[in-house]
Amino acid sequence: MAALDPRHTNALVYDHPLVQHKLTRLRSRDTNYADFRRLLNELAGLMAYEVCRNLPTREVEIETPVARAKGRMLATPVTIVPILRAGLGMTDGLLSLFPEARVGHIGIYRDESTAKPVTYYSKLPDDVAHGPVILVDPMLATGGSAAHAVDILQERGVLNIQLVCLVAAPEGLTLMREQHPEVVVHTAAIDERLNEHYYIVPGLGDAGDRIFGTH
Phi-psi region of 198 (alpha: psi -120 to 50; beta: other; left: phi over 0): left
- DSSP letters of 36-55? HHHHHHHHHHHHHHHHTTT-
Q: What 3-state class would DSSP assign to 13?
A: strand
Report the DSSP pairing between strands 139-140 and 167-168.
parallel
- The C-alpha atoms of residue 48 and residue 184 are separated, in whole angstroms, by 14
CA atoms within 13 A on the CB side of 111: 7
- The C-alpha atoms of residue 140 and residue 98 are separated, in whole angstroms, by 24
Interhelix angle 17-27/33-51, rounded to 10 degrees, is 150
Known catalytic residues are 110, 114, 206, 209
Contact 190, 8 (CB under 8 A): yes
